[in-house]
Structure formats: C-alpha cells, structure tokens
C-alpha cells in the first residue's frame, strides 16, 4: 500500500521563477493538504483540497495556488518565488468522511531552495 | 487563531532517562490533539492522538500523553528513552468541526546519547 508520495524530492529555483510540486495521496484518501516547513520551525498549513476545490486556506499569499485532480492527486504552484519561499513542502492526505477525527499521513516532502 | 507552543527546543538525554516534552495550545474551543515524530531522513509519523475520552492516551513505541484541559496542555512522556528515539517531535492541534487543518508547534529536537 503506497503511502503519500511527493515529487520532486529536491528543487533549486531562481528568484522570480515559478515552481510546481506534486503529491499523490495514500490509497483510499480523498483529501490533500499542503504545509510549508521552514528550517527549524514546525509545518505551517497552506491549503487543503477536497473534491477538486480549495476548502481551507492558511495565511499564505495568492502566489501560492493549487489544484486537485479527479484521481485525488494534487499540485502546489508558487509564482514569483522569493528567497523566503525556501523550505520543505509537505503534502498530507486524509479521508474526508472521517471528519476531524482523522489521522493525516505525510509524504517525505519536497525541499525547495530559491537562489 | 489557535497557536501551539513547545517550550523545549532542544533536549539531550542519556539512554534510560525519562522524557517529558511540553505542549500548550491556545484555543478556547474543542480541539483534537496530536504528537508527530520525524526521525532523521524520514517523513512525519503519528505517535499518538487524542479526540475524546480518557485524557491519558498511549501511542506507539511506549509513548504516552496526557491532556489537561484546564491547563491547555498535552505533554508527551516516555519512562525510559532509547537511542532510537532521537528525532524531532511536533505537537499539533486541530479545531473540532472546523476541518482537519493542523496547527503545529515549533518542534523539539531530542538527542539520546547511548
């Protein structure tokens, strides 16, 4: 049973560029959340997708956008990259119908470095 | 908005020592509480969770945590740590009936000396 998979594992981009990160949820899960983990800090919630729509959003600018596909996989897009966007980006999946009382499973993350 | 505080940023223990990591949250409503662990080079894994019922919850690998509602705390404990417990530990909460958006603390990096 595949867990949450993310690609790529590492990425280096230049300021001002755009980046797309990808996530495949754990088998049977229909909800995908994205988190940003800066060095030495805990993960911060970016947004959550369910039924191909953004359902919740954290305190991140519109440069951060996403998409969910019919197979439940998801993409995170960041435009106009800033040095401060350098971080580990984590994808977490869960099953919506279990509501809040559900465990989120995390992928290994994509390490983004902006130079 | 809710927030989570983990007061110990770095903890160094010898094997067989007892562990207690503090976690406090600020939110007046009903919450679910979690402890996640991140071993070196690995993904975040759930150690234990509290949704309701007995405030003392037991998780994997001998860890337990106690929810004290009056103190807004959910401290993690282990009676005797092992070298393999070296990892970073994150406390997290989500608000009941508000989606499962997790708010994480800043993490505690634990090093266990053999």
- Over the stretch A53-80, which tens digit does the pLDDT of each residue have? 999 999 999 999 999 999 999 999 999 9
In whole angstroms, what is the distance from residue B65 CA to residue B77 CA?
6
Tokens at residue A48, please? Answer: 């959550």
Chain B: closest CA distance from residue A14 (Å): 25
CB contact under 8 A, A56 and B46: no
Q: How confident is the model over B70-94, as pLDDT tens digits? A: 999 999 999 999 999 999 999 999 9
Chain A: closest CA distance from residue B30 (Å): 11
Secondary structure of residue A96 in the 3-state scheme: helix
| Contact criterion met (CB below 8 Å) for A95 and A31 | yes
- pLDDT over threshold 80, residue A39: yes
Q: Which residue of B4, B32, B42 is in closest CB contact with A101? A: B32
pLDDT of residue A99: 60
Q: What angle do CA B75, B78, B81 make, to 5 degrees?
A: 135
pLDDT of residue B29: 84
First-to-final CA distance of chain A: 37
Secondary structure of residue B23 in the 3-state scheme: coil
Give me the mean pLDDT over the B41-60 stretch.
Answer: 93
Q: What is the CA radius of gyration of chain A?
A: 13
pLDDT of residue A98: 62
pLDDT of residue B97: 72
CA-based nearest residue in chain A for residue B99:
A100
In whole angstroms, what is the distance from residue B72 CA to residue B56 CA?
14
Q: How confident is the model over A80-98, as pLDDT tens digits? A: 999 999 999 999 999 876 6
In whole angstroms, what is the distance from residue A85 CA to residue A74 CA?
19
Tokens at residue A22, please? Answer: 């990808």
Q: What angle do CA B83, B107, B15 make, to 5 degrees?
A: 15
pLDDT of residue B100: 77
Within A1-115, where are the H helices?
none
Q: Name residue B113's beta-bridge partners.
A: B14
**Residue A111: exposed, middle, or buried by beta-carbon count in 10 A (0-12, 13-18, 19+)?**
middle
- pLDDT over threshold 60, residue A1: no
CB contact under 8 A, B99 and A104: no
Residues of A in CB contact (< 8 Å) with B are: 3-4, 31, 33, 35, 40-45, 48, 55-56, 58, 90, 92, 94, 99-109
- CA pseudo-torsion sign A35, A38, A39, A40: negative
Q: How confident is the model over A3-37, as pLDDT tens digits? A: 999 999 999 999 999 999 999 999 999 999 999 99
In whole angstroms, what is the distance from residue B29 CA to residue B26 CA?
9
pLDDT of residue A100: 58
In whole angstroms, what is the distance from residue A44 CA to residue B96 CA?
18
DSSP for A45-70, please give it: EEEEEETTEEEEE-S--TTEEEEE-T
CB contact under 8 A, B102 and A4: no
Q: Which residue shows structure tokens 């110990």?
A: B8
Q: Which of A46-50, B43-47, B95-99 has the lowest mean pLDDT?
A: B95-99
Higher pLDDT: A81 or B29? It is: A81
């Amino acid at each position: 049973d595949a867990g949450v998979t993310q690609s790529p594992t590492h990425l280096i981009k230049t300021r001002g560029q755009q980046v797309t990160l990808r996530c495949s949820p754990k088998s049977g899960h229909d909800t995908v959340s994205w988190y940003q983990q800066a060095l030495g800090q805990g993960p911060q919630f970016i947004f959550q997708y369910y039924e191909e729509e953004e359902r919740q959003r954290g305190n991140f600018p519109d440069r951060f956008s996403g998409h969910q596909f019919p197979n439940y996989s998801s993409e995170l897009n960041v435009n106009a990259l800033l040095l401060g966007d350098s971080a580990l980006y984590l994808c977490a999946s869960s099953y919506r119908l279990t509501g809040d009382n559900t465990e989120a499973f995390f992928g290994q993350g994509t390490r983004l470095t902006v130079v | 908005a809710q927030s989570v505080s983990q007061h110990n940023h770095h903890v160094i223990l010898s094997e067989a020592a007892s562990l207690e990591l503090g976690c406090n949250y600020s939110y007046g409503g009903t919450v679910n509480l979690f402890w996640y662990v991140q071993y070196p080079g690995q993904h975040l894994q759930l150690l234990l969770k509290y949704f309701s019922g007995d405030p003392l919850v037991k998780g994997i690998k001998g860890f337990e945590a106690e929810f004290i509602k009056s103190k807004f705390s959910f401290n993690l404990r282990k009676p005797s740590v092992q070298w393999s417990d070296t990892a970073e530990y994150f406390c997290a909460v989500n608000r009941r009936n508000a989606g499962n958006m997790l708010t994480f603390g800043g993490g505690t990096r634990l090093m266990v000396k053999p």
